[in-house]
Amino acid sequence: MAAVRQASEDEQLGLIRAHPELGVSSVPLSEASDAEQTGAGLKTLTDDEFKRFAALNAAYRETFGFPFIICVRLHSKAEIFAAFATRLQNDAAAERAQALAEIGEITRLRVADLLGDERWPG
């Protein structure tokens, strides 16, 4: 993550923009992303929840120019909805920093999984 923090703003935005939108992505997900979104209940959204996710994703992308990123493994569906609402109030710099922090947490947990490191449970 030190390298990511030292990267240019354009490089950071490229990393952030490479992530799929939560809950409504038509892009194939990695095995890890699919499992994480399934675990958070994002693969079994009701029609109303799906519409709400689509609207929140659109508002977020329009506001910040990149997808909403959160470490879904650490949050429930309700917490993710609440985070959308809260984070839409942030400015672009704060949201870019938050997105990078979330990517760091996702990465940390996935590396811990690969290493079987129980000090950092998922």
Q: Is the torsion defined by CA of 109, 114, 117, 118 positive or negative? A: positive
Do the beta carbons of residue 109 and residue 122 sit within 8 Å? yes
Catalytic residue among 12, 19, 33, 77: 19
Do the beta carbons of residue 66 and residue 16 sit within 8 Å? yes
- 19 flagged as catalytic: yes
User: Distance between CA 28 and CA 75 in Å, rounded?
Assistant: 22
Q: Quote the DSSP letter at residue 74.
A: G
- Residue 55: enclosing H or E segment and its boundaries? helix 47-64
Enzyme catalytic residues: 19
